[in-house]
Amino acid sequence: MAIRAGSRGVPISLQNSFYMLFTVSLLLIAVANAALDKSILVTVKVTYGELAYKRVLMWQEMIRDNQQRDIKAKLQAVNNFFNQVRFLSDIKHWKQEDFWATPLEMLISNGGDCEDYSIAKFFTLKELGIPENNLRITYVKSLGLNQAHMVLIYAPKGKPPLVLDNLDKQIKPASERKDLKPVYSFNGRGLWKSKQRGRGKLIGGAEKIPPWRDLEKRMDREMLKSTLSGD
């Protein structure tokens, strides 16, 4: 099922409205517990429209339906789900040069760029029980496009890393993605400078990346970080 645009003029920036953030916070508590209260869904529907409501509900259902599946199935389900969201540049979408959206901002507005796909997959896979140590949001150079790009890497210890990408929608081993040149990778626990397609050298914490700091602040306000991470 394709994810289509809403009918109420979204995208809407969530960060400038206390009311919207309050609504988001209530919704995310329910999403994390896989039991959406009807009154919360009604509020989302009224605020953002029918199709935005359906996208968020589909996200919650996808998390619920995949909790007991194996890792390969979880990776595939999450990759397929978010790759349905339409691609929009930050300038067109958020009127900013570089804006990293939370998963909820991405779904409500039905749009995102490569960073947003990678971030949404990262947090959703954490909710599905994938250890954070096995996930890296990775900044790469797309050699085919000759431009910066971002993907999510699933890299369990002792196994070949896999690439979850919005350009090449098939999950492939990193060794098969000759079109990508790794630059650095990060998760909530660290920042690594890439060494070819290996795990790289730890050079600090992810707080060194300003867009990540801004994203975490907004997720704290939305109560997303604590509910989706399981911390």
* Per-residue pLDDT reduced to its tens digit, 77-130: 999 999 999 999 999 999 988 888 888 889 889 999 999 999 999 989 998 999
- Residue 210 in domain: yes
Judged by DSSP in three states, 191 sits in: strand
User: Quick check: is 112 in a domain?
Assistant: yes
Q: Quick one: average pLDDT of 27-55? A: 65
Residue with tokens 């804006």: 99
Residues 6+ apart with CB under 8 A from 172: 162, 163
What is the average pLDDT across 198-215?
57
Contacts of 95 (CB under 8 A, 6+ apart): none
Q: Mean pLDDT over residues 163-187, rounded?
A: 93
Give the per-residue pLDDT at 29: 43
Q: Which domain holds residue 225?
A: 14-229
Place of tokens 């050079």: 203
Give pLDDT, residue 208: 60
Q: Is residue 5 part of a domain?
A: no
Residue, of 101 and 168, whose pLDDT is higher: 168
Q: Is residue 87 part of a domain?
A: yes
Question: Which of 228, 18, 61, 227 has its CA nearest to residue 135?
Answer: 228
The answer to whether position 197 is within a domain reads: yes
Task: Residue 169: give its domain's CATH number.
Answer: 3.10.620.30
pTM: 0.74
Number of structural domains found in the chain? 1
Within-domain flag for 155 = yes
Q: How many CA atoms lie within 13 A of 71 on its CB side?
A: 10
Taking the CA atoms of residue 83, residue 150, residue 170 and residue 79 in that order, the dihedral angle to the nearest 10 degrees is -40
Give, for 25, the enclosing helix (H) or strand (E). Answer: helix 18-32
Asked if 129 and 69 touch (Cβ cutoff 8 Å), the reply is: no
Alpha carbon 106 to its chain's center:
8
8 sits in the region (left: phi over 0; alpha: psi -120 to 50; else beta) called alpha
Instruction: Please indicate, yes or no, if residue 177 is contained in any of the structural domains.
Output: yes
Q: Assess if residue 3 is contained within a domain.
A: no
